[in-house]
Amino acid sequence: MPDHAKEILHCLKDKYFKELEDLEVDGQKVEVPQPLSWYPEELAWHTNLSRKILRKSPQLEKFHQFLVSETESGNISRQEAVSMIPPLLLSVQPHHKILDMCAAPGSKTTQLIEMLHADMNVPFPEGFVIANDVDNKRCYLLVHQAKRLSSPCIMVVNHDAASIPRLQVDVGGRKEALFYDRVLCDVPCSGDGTMRKNIDVWKKWTTLNSLQLHGLQLRIATRGAEQLAEGGRMVYSTCSLNPIEDEAVIAALLEKSEGALELADVSSELPGLKWMPGITQWKVMTKDGQWFASWDNVPHNRHTQIRPTMFPPKDPAKLEAMNLARCLRILPHHQNTGGFFVAVLVKKFSMPWNKHQAKPQNTCVEMRESVKPSLVDPTEGRAVAPSALESKPVTEIGDTEIMENLENDGNKRDGVCGPPPSKKMKLFGFKEDPFVFIPDDDPLFPPIQKFYALDPSFPKMNLLTRTTEGKKRHLYMVSKELRNVLLNNSERMKVINTGIKVWCRNNSSEDCAFRLTQEGIYTLYPFINSRIITVSMEDVKILLTQENPFLRKLSSEAYSQAKDLVKGSIILKYEPDPRDPGGLGCPVVLCGWRGKTSIRAFVPKNERLHYLRMMGLEVLGEKRTEGTAPADELAASPEPAASPEQPEGEASAARTEGAGSPGGPPGDA
């Protein structure tokens, strides 16, 4: 468990939960939150407290504010307990390439990102998450969720999951199809497992829902299996208990895979979780209440509504070999949760229709080898014609056809990943700006490198902007693996968002036109060798509770480090003191600004409150204290009132500058 998570857990258990013990509201004893027995290391907790009760007592109101503030900071996530299961069963490692096919609103995606960053000392894990959703507006909700975690390893894309394009990457100068180590297939469903909390299900549920969704669910699962690497693991899940959406989809997928897929036995992977095995026999019911036990009994006029894949396999030996009992059915009354279905599939070899994979044409390879690669390679413009994908059922689209449809386009600009050319894709949603990687010889970078004394190992080729013309206002960063994906797929992929904002333009400093951002500080910090001030816990408290404290207010050690620095962006670093067991037990890195006579922390409000809580201070709002810098220095601060930039913590990571974003709730619970 990372040190930061330990501190938050310690704060929850020793402060907030203890205050709830023996507390009564309206004569009723408040139930203290309990850890989920099946979630590792007590990192998930369950509470029955309603909003109404939370607001009736000062202690509960404080706990409620803690939950809201920490959720906004990305330190905790609130979601339905059972929806945490699929990411756990994926068994993600930091080097895994992950596809989340139906990702919005993003609670499972955030779990996957956390697993990639299991080692907080590695700023760029080798793995990444590509989070997809068919709904353009929900993609922005997904961006909001993912942005809280400040990861350079997440990309949000907007496609129909059933026909999500096959991507390719450059491997040693050759284009190869991208296969994912892990695929999360949390498909759209009727939601009958959510009826305890979702009143709409009671009003709108009919047996027709499952009959209409079954085909889509099977197409999405098939596409996920196609894109899964051999030896990889795919989790299929629904919040429905209807076998038409659950075992029927899995059985049909296993049958058409001809042995390429098998159900994994995960019965021992989540000790403490109560579940029922998957079922092997079921019937299909029409909207008017008519039951059918097999496809043979279905009259011809029902064949469009009811399909053969909705029934269990007839052959008993084949049915037994499928091991459908390995599926997990989580029932609401077993653990006071929603109803849920999970199946874990492992891919042993290629799907039958994908076995003969075409290699890239030799002429293309020779052409690539004749041109020496640079840090800003062109995308080479290989694209799949959308019409070619749409004209066939997804089950017939193999890697062979996709690789054969890749075409060259010599008009691409170096390092520029524009939006897809398809007019159909541009007709809805927001128009996204291109992703432009900084050229190797860009004059913008050397002053930054000199000012912050960046380590030679700094991967500057991974820096990008969102504009091809005019001044670059923000610099973003992605991992080298996502850079590879971006450069080689811009023509077939609609990217909504990727990258973490690491620098913002600011002209207050003569030495460097770009200041650091708090959201990118943990990514950049390992590469920065200057302008770092080591501060004490008391210094951190002063910096987070006062707007612009004078330099003299800091400890003598911090003052001596800061007094000779020129005006501009700085890093404030706190290291735990082993001699002080009561102090903050994890390192803290803050973005700051050295003014003429003062110093300030450049941290969004929720993160400010978070760090103060971790140090034992409960602040219900930002304090304004005396002894701050004079007004003329405030005007020279990195965020003057007239600045065209958005305040720190409000701009979304690598979002289109100037484009609005649909609002929405931050989570799904």
Active-site choice (11, 239, 504, 512)? 239
d(CA 174, CA 633): 54
Task: Please return the burial class of 188, using the count of CB atoms within 10 Å of its CB with bins 0-12, 13-18 and 19+.
Answer: middle
Q: Where are the alpha helices (DSSP H) in 371-490?
A: 386-390, 399-404, 423-426, 445-451, 480-489
Residue 414: band (very low, low, confident or very high) from pLDDT cuts 50, 70, 90 = low
| Residue 239 known to be catalytic | yes
Q: Are 412 and 468 in contact (CB under 8 A)?
A: no
Q: Are 485 and 613 in contact (CB under 8 A)?
A: no
Q: Are 132 and 110 in contact (CB under 8 A)?
A: no
Residue 169: band (very low, low, confident or very high) from pLDDT cuts 50, 70, 90 = very high
For the chain, what percent of residues have pLDDT higher than 90?
A: 57
Q: Which residues contact 478 (CB under 8 A, 6 or more apart)?
A: 152, 153, 155, 462, 464, 486, 498, 499, 500
- 406-420 b/e (C-beta count within 10 Å ≥ 16 → b): beeeeebeebbbbbb
Integer CA distances (angstroms), 175 to 132, 359, 368, 439, in order: 23, 9, 10, 22
- Which of 36, 332, 52 has the alpha carbon at shortest distance from 195? 332
Residue 623: what pLDDT? Answer: 41
> What's the mean pLDDT when you consider all of the chain?
81
Residue 402: band (very low, low, confident or very high) from pLDDT cuts 50, 70, 90 = very low
State yes or no: pLDDT of 388 exceeds 50: no
Q: Which residues contact 410 (CB under 8 A, 6 or more apart)?
A: 381
Token digits of residue 317? 């030996």
Residue 47: what pLDDT? Answer: 87
Q: What is the pLDDT of residues 112-139, one digit of tens each?
A: 999 999 887 788 899 999 999 999 999 9
Token digits of residue 371? 């041109």
Integer CA distances (angstroms), 383 to 43, 297, 400, 405, in order: 43, 46, 14, 7
Cβ neighbour number for residue 569 with a 10 Å cutoff: 24
State yes or no: pLDDT of 386 exceeds 70: no
Residue 392: band (very low, low, confident or very high) from pLDDT cuts 50, 70, 90 = very low
Q: Which residues contact 461 (CB under 8 A, 6 or more apart)?
A: 375, 376, 437, 438, 440, 480, 483
Please compute the mean of the pLDDT values over residues 269-274 and round it to a whole number.
94
State yes or no: pLDDT of 435 exceeds 70: yes
Higher per-residue pLDDT: 625 or 110 = 110
Predicted TM-score (pTM) of this structure: 0.82
Residue 72: what pLDDT? Answer: 87
Residue 88: what pLDDT? Answer: 97
Please compute the mean of the pLDDT values over residues 295-308 and round it to a whole number.
93
- 311-349 b/e (C-beta count within 10 Å ≥ 16 → b): bbbeeeeebeebbbbbbbbbebeebebbbbbbbbbbbee
d(CA 68, CA 73): 9
Token digits of residue 509? 């400093």
Q: What is the pLDDT of residues 17-37, one digit of tens each?
A: 888 888 888 777 888 899 999
Q: What is the pLDDT of residues 180-201, one digit of tens each?
A: 999 999 999 999 999 998 999 9
Residue 400: what pLDDT? Answer: 36
Range name among 8-12, 374-378, 415-419, 605-609 with the lowest pLDDT average: 374-378
Residue 351: band (very low, low, confident or very high) from pLDDT cuts 50, 70, 90 = very high
Residue 615: what pLDDT? Answer: 85
Q: What is the pLDDT of residues 604-640, one digit of tens each?
A: 988 898 988 888 887 654 444 444 443 333 333 333 3
Range name among 89-98, 395-404, 407-416, 600-609 with the lowest pLDDT average: 395-404
Residue 49: band (very low, low, confident or very high) from pLDDT cuts 50, 70, 90 = confident
Give the 3-state secondary structure of residue 528.
strand
Higher per-residue pLDDT: 200 or 384 = 200
172 sits in the region (left: phi over 0; alpha: psi -120 to 50; else beta) called: left
Q: What is the pLDDT of residues 510-566, one digit of tens each?
A: 788 899 999 999 999 999 999 999 999 999 999 999 888 898 999 999 999 998 899
Cα-flanking dihedrals φ and ψ of residue 512, to 5°?
A: -150, 130
Higher per-residue pLDDT: 65 or 384 = 65
Residue 5: what pLDDT? Answer: 85
- Which of 652, 639, 653 has the alpha carbon at shortest distance from 507? 639
Residue 422: band (very low, low, confident or very high) from pLDDT cuts 50, 70, 90 = very low
Residue 318: what pLDDT? Answer: 94
Token digits of residue 422? 């398809």
Q: What is the pLDDT of residues 243-267, one digit of tens each?
A: 999 999 999 999 999 999 999 999 9
Residue 376: band (very low, low, confident or very high) from pLDDT cuts 50, 70, 90 = very low
One-letter amino acid of 130: I
- Which of 163, 172, 627, 136 has the alpha carbon at shortest distance from 430? 136
Residue 418: what pLDDT? Answer: 53
Residue 415: what pLDDT? Answer: 64
